[in-house]
């Protein structure tokens, strides 16, 4: 494929990933990592996504800052900090196929039952106190493991937000805080390992304009989506991402 065509695909992918992030509050890493490894070595694609993810995280947090809830974000962030180093360790030793397959089953199962059995009812927030905090910490820990290993910290945290039926602004703001911490942990570990090269820096600079355009479009669209529509979008995305994990695990079996 010509270099110009490859760069066009990369730019379009980053813009789409940022758009999804702006609307749904997650998905940048998952969408980007579904395509970038086909054009960049994995050792470059992962740091590029982590570095560009910082900008998407901050932008969505600022746009939804009033939705930040300490009772939600603190256990999420604590879990991410615990899980990310283990994810980096797993990257070198564990078989990601089994983990992706199990995660895919959880996502597909939850999304299907929620869409079929619960979508007709009002999505009132639920879950409070110690149980919600424990669920947030567990989601953050698993998200940290997946983020450290595969730059895909979103699904467990999104699953937690869907279970809580959080309002859109609250879900986006608190998820992004957890994703920001995950990205910072990843980048720190990459820097310690000497993985941040000039090629990675150049790829990040090329991707910045596309990410900015996608984010602006996503934030504008996100503000016009009501709670019920937002929940449907999240559940459909969970279903699609779950299928993607299952198919990926099957293809590499």
**pLDDT of the residue at 119:** 46
| 47 backbone φψ class: left, alpha, beta (φ>0; ψ -120 to 50) | alpha
**242 has pLDDT over 50:** yes
Number of domains comprising the chain: 1
CA dihedral over 100, 149, 8, 16, signed as positive or negative: positive
Query: Does the pLDDT value for residue 34 go beyond 80?
Result: no
Q: Is the pLDDT of residue 239 over 70?
A: yes
For residue 203, the enclosing domain spans: 3-251
pLDDT for 160 beyond 70: yes
pTM over 0.85: no
Which are the contacts of 52, defined by CB distance < 8 A and separation ≥ 6?
14, 28, 32, 204, 207, 208, 211
- Pairwise CA distance, residues 231 & 228, whole Å: 5
Q: What are 51-73's pLDDT values in tens digits?
A: 998 988 887 788 888 999 999 99
For 94, the token pair is 């564990």
Confidence of residue 135 (pLDDT cuts 50, 70, 90): very high
């Amino acid at each position: 494929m010509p270099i110009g065509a490859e760069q066009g695909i990369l730019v379009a992918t980053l813009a789409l990933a940022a758009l999804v992030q702006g609307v749904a509050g997650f998905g940048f890493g998952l969408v980007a990592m579904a395509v970038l490894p086909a054009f960049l070595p994995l050792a470059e694609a992962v740091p590029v996504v982590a570095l560009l993810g910082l900008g998407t995280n901050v932008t969505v947090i600022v746009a939804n800052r009033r939705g930040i809830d300490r009772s939600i974000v603190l256990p999420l962030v604590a879990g991410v900090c615990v899980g990310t180093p283990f994810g980096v360790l797993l990257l070198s030793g564990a078989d990601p196929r089994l983990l992706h397959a199990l995660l895919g089953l959880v996502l597909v199962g939850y999304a299907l039952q929620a869409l079929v059995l619960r979508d007709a009812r009002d999505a009132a927030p639920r879950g409070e106190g110690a149980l919600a905090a424990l669920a947030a910490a567990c989601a953050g820990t698993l998200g940290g493991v997946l983020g450290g290993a595969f730059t895909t910290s979103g699904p467990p945290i999104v699953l937690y937000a869907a279970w809580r039926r959080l309002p859109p602004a609250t879900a986006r703001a608190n998820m992004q805080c957890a994703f920001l911490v995950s990205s910072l942990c990843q980048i720190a570990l990459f820097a310690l390992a000497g993985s941040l090269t000039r090629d990675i820096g150049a790829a990040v600079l090329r991707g910045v304009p596309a990410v900015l355009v996608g984010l602006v479009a996503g934030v504008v669209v996100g503000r016009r989506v009501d709670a019920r529509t937002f929940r449907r979008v999240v559940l459909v995305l969970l279903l699609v991402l779950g299928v993607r994990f299952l198919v990926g695990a099957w293809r590499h079996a």
